[in-house]
Chains A and B, each alone.
Chain A
Amino acid sequence: MKTRALTVSLAVLAVLLLVAGACGSDEDAVAPEPPAAAPAAEPAPAPEPPAPASEPAPAPEPVAEPPAAPEPAAAPPPAAAGVPADAGRFVYASPFPWVDLDPSSAFSAEHLVLQNVYETLTRFNPPGSAELLSPGLATSWESNEDATFWTFNLRDGVTFHDGAPFNAEAVRASLQRTIDLGLGAAFIFLPVESMEVVDDLTINFRLLWPAPMDLVLSSTFAAYIMSPDSVTQDATWFNDGNGAGTGPYTIASLSPSENVILTAYEDYWGGWSDGQFSEVEMRLVEDPVLAEQLVRSGDADFTFNLPFDVYPALETDTDLSVVRGVSMTNLFGMLNNVRLSPEVREALVLSFPYEDVVNNLYGGEATRATGPIPRTIWGSLDDSNLPQTDLARAAATLEAAGVSDLTLTYSYDVGEVEQEQIGEVWKALLATIGVELVLEPLTWDARWAIAQGDPAEAQDIYTMFWYPSYVTPTDFLYSLYRSEELPFFGLSYYKNPEFDALLDTADATSGTDTDAAAEMFRQAQQILVDDDVAVFMLDVPAVSVIRSDIEGYVPNPAYANVVWFYDLRRS
């Protein structure tokens, strides 16, 4: 009975499809990028302790103020020599790829890896800490009265992964490489006039204008120190998985579209003790549903950036902790200043469903953006002039400008559920005033490449998350809105000499007079708001998920989504 056989096989096929869909099978046969399914080799799970309640969110408004006076002094942790007792492998599921692992130029999501391999002279503390900064490779530092001359005393007994000793010359050479390349976040060193190696463990920074150098050197990007040999290499070499830092982990293997394997560096200056992880897999998992399943099943220990609708269900799972922290990340839609007239940009800003999105999406955890800078960072605008959705005015603006039959493209990350939901809600609103919004979901690499091409041919609206390199208003304004010869992250393609000048002055002032600088930063932001260079959508809540048997994870908004694996233990 051919008929019956066919019918049955078809039914089976159809049911399989249903099951695959309904159950969210990750191994769908047609997935173009099948995720690596190698189960993590994990020791038999220890008896589960009662799940600790998710970390209490730190006070909601610990605004990171600029440093008042640098006065750190902390003894280096006792260095316990030896090989770490094997706590097994920690699996970090990252929704974002690592595009460029060169520590000088990396400026996207590579910090998730690099922060564990390389170290910086200082580290910004999580909110609620007594001090603003912790010692890193520097143990103490001081500056002159007007913050134009800085001296850093370096940690003794530190070695690079390739065996070379860590010293002041290595610091100078690393930072000089970053400055010379001038890529990524190298702009944070613009104030640096020269570096002087005083002795093996002392380095001076002479600045062109006052700057909080201790804060600059805590940067998420560009401030990494690498070995003398690594300094002489190029980006290709780093992207092959090479590179020697001083961090607790080294890159054992690298497969850009799949994973990075990190192994413990035995001679790490901080020493090792029982219960730490000797191996870490950072796995690229772009599908949030798959990431959710991996942490649920224990095949991954940590992930973030899941759709916010799933967190309530995850909170009921005692094997998981949903961790909420302060966020310095915001989401905005950059408006193409080359393609869109001021009137169209104004209409777009007026048409965005701010309240709808904040109230209904992101599980109600997002906050309205006051402007280009998240409200948790000093120098941000206040709530007094929040943009309001006003479709009538938007329509009138378009009509007055004689614009009709407008079709605009909205470029967003495929798999970013909320960005798509936002796009669909916005599209429906724009349709009521005769504007057609075409949603263009693409992978980050693909859409970034398009956006860096000819602005006249690029997207109209480009959604982006931003988190600071070091905690300063400059970072947001400089990277995103300062005039660029060739577009990098300035995907509004905005050029305004007046804004540039004001920003530069504000930055130069921030080293000495914080209040005056903050005022100038606000003026600069107001220019951006008045020019409608972007739709400032919201400040993104910082939520991540970690297996509850993992101890030691403290979210740090200054280093978005970084997990320092060295701090972790499995109980």
Chain B
Amino acid sequence: MDPSDRLPPPSRFGLRGLPRRRGLPGVAGGAGGDAGHPARRLGAPGSSVWYFRRSRLGMGAAGVALVFVVAAIFAPWLTPFADAGRGVPDLSVRLQGPDGTYWLGTDDLGRDMLARLLFGARTALIVAVGVVALSVVIGVTVGAVAGYFGRWVDEVLMRITDTFLAFPPLLLAVLVAAALGASLRNTVIAIAVSWWPWYARQVRAQVLSLQRRPYVRAVQAIGVPSHSIIVRHVLPNAMAPVWVQATADLGAAVLTAAGLSFVGLGPRPPTADWGVMIAEGRQYVLSGQWWIAGFAGIAIVVAAMSFNLIGDVVRDVTDPRTRGEG
């Protein structure tokens, strides 16, 4: 089913219609075609935010994600071992188990694992946000242009998109990362290259259905330039599912990036990275030093799950049929 069907058709309410459904608060409505409409208070009963707040699962996941974001941003101030977090070794305390000083133990170069995990959160956050932002920008642009202009533009852009979709995303990411060389920036590019087509298809489908609506025809008739119509009138109504997708993708990006790092296609040492920590900690698991790979694995699970849960809940609360289930 076309996801756009979940949106009340704007035609029913006209150009400055009654409350349109919004994806995330303040996003779809902000730049939308309903300028002048009194903004609804954030979190008012019946809004998506209101439903989200009522979801214990959603709030729990959001809490965990917040901890993750705070850890990433304030990592240097949260640990006495900030230098270790940045990669400075201290060989005199190699492979120490968790104790009062090193709460989560130390790694093979004597670096505090907690500090490494906190700094690893930075890497993960940069990758997650970077991948999703890049994918959304490329995907939405391509999808909107293809869907709005149709005909040969649509054909060309969508066939290109299909070419990318023909590869399994992870395989494509591995290929691109291997071709570009290992670095944090290239990890972001590699994953984004394999992900943007999904956004492009989603947005194109939305735009296709929207651009035949009378309100779009109306602005076209007034003579508003195409780019302006796309940006101001079409996209705001097409973005809701994109934001839902993007939220869930943050978690998937953390997972995928960890996978790439694990096989040596992530940031170079000594950048703290959870996937690299698992890869390097593997050899120590059999000899009893489980805490390197173990804690890094837990960090990945928790971060990825919290973003995914948020994504799920956001999708549910923006869909009247599943509201309140969370």
Q: Mark A residues whose CB is within 8 Å of B.
A: 1-3, 6-7, 10-11, 13-15, 17-18, 21-24, 28-32, 288-289, 292-293, 296, 307, 309-310, 312-313, 356, 359-361, 414, 417, 420-421, 423-425, 427-428, 431, 438-441
Set of chain A residues within 8 Å of B15, measured between Cβ atoms: none
Set of chain A residues within 8 Å of B279, measured between Cβ atoms: 21
Query: Of B174, B265, B300, which contacts A14 at CB under 8 A?
Result: B300
Secondary structure type dominating chain B contacts: helix
> Please, how many angstroms separate the alpha-carbon atoms of A420 and B107 in the complex?
14
- In the complex, chain B residues 258-296 whose Cβ is within 8 Å of any chain A Cβ: 258-260, 262-265, 268-270, 278-288, 290, 293-294, 296
> Please, how many angstroms separate the alpha-carbon atoms of A356 and B313 in the complex?
52
**Do the beta carbons of A24 and B301 come within 8 Å of each other?**
no
> Please, how many angstroms separate the alpha-carbon atoms of A441 and B259 in the complex?
17
**Do the beta carbons of B285 and A10 come within 8 Å of each other?**
no
Chain B: interface size category:
35 or more
Query: Of A17, A288, A420, A441, which contacts B300 at CB under 8 A?
Result: A17
Q: Does B131 contact A (CB under 8 A)?
A: no
**Do the beta carbons of A309 and B95 come within 8 Å of each other?**
yes
**Do the beta carbons of B87 and A10 come within 8 Å of each other?**
no
Set of chain A residues within 8 Å of B259, measured between Cβ atoms: 17, 30
> Please, how many angstroms separate the alpha-carbon atoms of A38 and B99 in the complex?
42
**Do the beta carbons of B284 and A309 come within 8 Å of each other?**
yes
> Please, how many angstroms separate the alpha-carbon atoms of A425 and B325 in the complex?
52
Q: Mark B residues whose CB is within 8 Å of A.
A: 57, 87-89, 91-92, 94-95, 108-109, 170, 174, 178, 182, 251, 255, 258-260, 262-265, 268-270, 278-288, 290, 293-294, 296-298, 300-301, 304-305, 308-309, 312-313, 316, 322, 325-326
**Do the beta carbons of B109 and A425 come within 8 Å of each other?**
yes
> Please, how many angstroms separate the alpha-carbon atoms of A6 and B249 in the complex?
13
**Do the beta carbons of A441 and B182 come within 8 Å of each other?**
yes
Given known A-B contacts A24-B286, A309-B95, A360-B91, A3 and B258 have beta carbons under 8 A apart: no
**Do the beta carbons of B262 and A15 come within 8 Å of each other?**
no
Secondary structure type dominating chain A contacts: helix
Offer 16 A-B interface pairs, CB within 8 angstroms, sorted by A. A2-B312, A2-B316, A3-B57, A3-B316, A3-B322, A7-B309, A10-B308, A18-B301, A32-B174, A292-B283, A307-B283, A309-B95, A313-B286, A424-B89, A425-B89, A440-B268
Set of chain B residues within 8 Å of A441, measured between Cβ atoms: 182, 264, 268-269
Query: Of A18, A23, A421, which contacts B298 at CB under 8 A?
Result: A18
Nearest Cβ on chain B to A31's Cβ, whole angstroms: 6
Set of chain B residues within 8 Å of A421, measured between Cβ atoms: 89, 108-109
Query: Of B88, B95, B251, B269, which contacts A10 at CB under 8 A?
Result: B251
B271 closest partner in A (C-beta): A439
> Please, how many angstroms separate the alpha-carbon atoms of A15 and B301 in the complex?
7
**Do the beta carbons of B269 and A312 come within 8 Å of each other?**
no
Nearest Cβ on chain B to A361's Cβ, whole angstroms: 8
With A424-B109, A425-B89 already in contact, 4 other A-B pairs whose C-beta atoms are closer than 8 Å = A23-B282, A360-B94, A424-B270, A441-B269
**Do the beta carbons of B281 and A17 come within 8 Å of each other?**
no
> Please, how many angstroms separate the alpha-carbon atoms of A425 and B94 in the complex?
12
